[in-house]
């Protein structure tokens, strides 16, 4: 079980230089999409937003962008509520994507730059820069609709970045990308973060989020249920125990107090230990089956934490 140490009050002091999502609630008719959603993304922080389908990630991002209005709560940037001018300084990669299919790549990017107030010359040079950086140099004169989906996604990232935004918000930017494109996307997000920009993105690729992000927010049923650095989150989750007892038969760990079997593979049993569970009792039970070749504690990874949150959510 994840120990719920996360309190909204704690989060709010973090980022007066960054993006604050402060107790946002939103209903669609009878459906409660967000319930006091709260978290912050500091300046120069790469924040991963994870949660099951329908947990409320897209709704939160749309509200942050001003595409959708919240029923209550507030979004602030650098300590002030957002107005139109501040929102124009956001870069957004929406889930539904949103490029003009018939427009050529470079033309489209310069156009978007100009729409955000750049001079034609500056917008053109920004478009050239980002097509270069994202490996689209040879595609500049192609219509977006003729590109592969992965390349369209690169253009979409360029579109979010072309006007040199102060905040970057991306809805599932990694979905459908090949491994090379994943690396390009990761590098660009890190570079953007390193320029002091808050970067918020959602993803279902938990290994990637774990590797890439400074902090992670896990959402369930419209609220943040855990938030912190990957290390902090991993420390909060239940410890795992990996036991290699080759002669053990199925069910050897059944009935041990505070112990749950997560996985049995190649003679190795992975167990989850509840707080206060006696690992020495597990060792004795393992030894009772025969030799024990391996017995080690492991911290949960983001996938384990996520599984716990989703299981608890379903049980609630």
Ligand X SMILES: Nc1ncnc2c1ncn2[C@@H]1O[C@H](COP(=O)(O)OP(=O)(O)OP(=O)(O)O)[C@@H](O)[C@H]1O
Q: Which residues contribute to the site for ligand X (CB under 6 A)?
A: 28, 31, 33, 51, 53-59
What is the length of the chain? 316
| 60, 104, 269, 270, 291 from 263: Cα distances, Å | 35, 51, 6, 5, 20
Nearest to 154 by CA among 51, 42, 162, 20: 162
Nearer to ligand X, 24 or 282 (CB): 24
Nearer to ligand X, 17 or 52 (CB): 52
* Residue 55 Cβ vs ligand X, minimum distance, rounded to whole Å: 4
* Residue 307 Cβ vs ligand X, minimum distance, rounded to whole Å: 16
* Residue 98 Cβ vs ligand X, minimum distance, rounded to whole Å: 16
* Residue 26 Cβ vs ligand X, minimum distance, rounded to whole Å: 8
Nearer to ligand X, 143 or 205 (CB): 205
Nearer to ligand X, 61 or 199 (CB): 61
Q: Which tokens sit at 185?
A: 């996307």
* Residue 156 Cβ vs ligand X, minimum distance, rounded to whole Å: 16
CB 225 within 8 A of CB 272: no
* Residue 51 Cβ vs ligand X, minimum distance, rounded to whole Å: 5
- Find how far residue 268's CA is from the centre of its chain: 31
Nearer to ligand X, 33 or 168 (CB): 33
Neighbouring C-beta atoms of residue 144, cutoff 10 Å: 21
Nearer to ligand X, 31 or 72 (CB): 31
Nearer to ligand X, 31 or 145 (CB): 31
Q: CA torsion angle for 219, 220, 222, 226 (degrees, to 10)?
A: -40
Q: Which tokens sit at 37?
A: 């959603």
Helix (H, G, I), strand (E, B) or coil at 12: helix
| 287, 289, 312 from 256: Cα distances, Å | 14, 14, 21
Q: Which tokens sit at 7?
A: 């309190």
What span, in angstroms and rounded, lies between the C-alpha atoms of 228 and 216?
A: 6
* Residue 243 Cβ vs ligand X, minimum distance, rounded to whole Å: 35
């Amino acid at each position: 079980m994840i120990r719920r140490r996360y309190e909204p009050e704690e989060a709010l002091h973090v980022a007066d230089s960054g993006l604050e999502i402060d107790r946002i609630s939103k209903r669609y008719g009878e459906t409660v999409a967000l319930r006091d959603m709260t978290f912050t993304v500091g300046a120069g922080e790469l924040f991963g937003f994870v949660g099951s389908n329908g947990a409320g990630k897209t709704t939160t991002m749309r509200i942050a962008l001003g595409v959708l209005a919240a029923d209550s709560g507030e979004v602030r940037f650098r300590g002030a509520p957002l107005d139109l001018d501040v929102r124009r300084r956001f870069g957004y990669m929406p889930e539904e994507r949103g490029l003009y299919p018939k427009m050529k790549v470079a033309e489209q990017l310069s156009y978007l730059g100009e729409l955000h107030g750049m001079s034609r010359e500056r917008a053109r040079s920004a478009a050239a820069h980002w097509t270069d950086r994202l490996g689209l140099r040879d595609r500049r004169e192609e219509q977006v609709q003729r590109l592969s989906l992965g390349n369209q996604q690169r253009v979409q990232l360029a579109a979010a970045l072309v006007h040199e935004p102060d905040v970057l918000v991306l809805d599932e930017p990694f979905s459908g990308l090949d491994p090379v494109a994943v690396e390009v996307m990761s590098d660009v997000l890190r570079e953007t973060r390193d320029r002091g920009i808050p970067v918020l993105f959602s993803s279902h690729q938990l290994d990637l989020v774990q590797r890439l992000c400074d902090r992670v927010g896990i959402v369930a049923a419209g609220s943040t249920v855990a938030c912190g650095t990957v290390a902090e989150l991993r420390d909060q989750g239940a410890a795992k125990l990996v036991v290699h007892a080759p002669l053990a038969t199925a069910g050897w760990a059944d009935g041990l107090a505070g112990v749950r079997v997560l996985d049995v593979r190649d003679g190795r049993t992975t167990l989850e230990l509840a707080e206060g569970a006696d690992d020495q009792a597990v060792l004795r039970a393992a030894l009772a089956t025969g030799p024990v070749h391996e017995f080690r504690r492991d911290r949960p990874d983001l996938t384990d934490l996520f599984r716990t949150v989703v299981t608890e959510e379903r049980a609630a």
